[in-house]
Amino acid sequence: MKILIIGGAGMVGRKLAERLAKDGKLGGREIEALTMFDVVAPTAPKGAKFAVNTATGDLPAKGETDKLVANKPDVIFHLAAIVSGEAEQEFDKGYRINLQGTQNLLESVRHTYEKNLKKPRVVFTSSVAVFGAPFPEKIGDDFHSTPLTSYGTQKAIGELLLSDYTRKGMLDGIGIRLPTICVRPGTPNKAASGFFSNICREPLAGKEAVLPVSEDVMHWHASPRAGVEFLIHAATIDGEKLGARRNLSMPGLAVTVGQQIAALRKVGGEKVVARIRREPDAFIQKIVAGWPSNFDPKRALALGFKADNSFEEIVRIHIEDELDGLIG
């Protein structure tokens, strides 16, 4: 089996590659080669018993996606995108990367596998940002997609394209709407949702963090571990069980910022929580106000996708996986 990860230098792509290297298999099939692609050089996972190739490039550039699928990977994970805040501020860049890059990939798959009876499984990471207010108490599987941000619009179009190319038999696609992945390791980025991780990650590392919204803001979360499990399951699930509806909202945890802080306090103590500084940001507040906060993902749960048990568990996962069990 050959696998391609587009967006392999990102946090989720890196963790996915590490998981594949550890398992050596995907869906019971031995992995023979993995390609990791991004705009910056990805880091190959340690201990892989299969060939790992890393590559850099500009996804929407002419011919780039043709090169990526030339060796006909069996599974393609499309994780590459510029994040929500940047997509909102950089309109042209957002559409070029998040939409044109995606459409180029689908077109390359269409033509490269045209004579192949078996088409590749394409796993597209979408977002809960495809939904826009006003929201019901919980967003079910039949709620309409009316995004209120450029990022959400780009992801919604990507979902429609994925479904149509699948319907036409050009590929075997599944789109998974990820909750906000929290607590993300690394450093703060331009994602409008970044503060959800920042207010946990930075204090746990002994650093100050800024909270730009009120504590009553509720959001939908999943740990990096859960995010990788979503991707693995999406890559291996029987496509016939999905039917024509190829895009799914993933399960997660609906918690308020205040509940996040309470979980952080329970795990790390008052000293850690005291490192959070309240600093309202109207730009972030406006974006977050247009996002959904709670879901009823019955289809995903019925299909075997699983969420974390509590936000406290999410905090402990970060400490275990990123801090060697130590709190700063």
* Catalytically active residues, by annotation: 151
**How far is Cα 41 from Cα 128, in angstroms, rounded to an integer?**
28
DSSP 143-163: -----SSHHHHHHHHHHHHHH
What are the angstrom distances between the C-alpha of 159 and each of 115, 141, 173? 25, 14, 9
CA angle, 31 as apex, 114 and 113 as ends, to 5°? 5
- For residue 33, give every residue at least 6 positions away whose Cβ sits within 8 Å of its Cβ, in sequence order, or none: 2, 3, 50, 51, 52, 53, 71
**How far is Cα 130 from Cα 136, in angstroms, rounded to an integer?**
15
CA angle, 151 as apex, 105 and 166 as ends, to 5°? 35
- At 49, the amino acid letter reads K
User: Among 234, 235, 225, which residue's Cα sits nearest to residue 307?
Assistant: 225
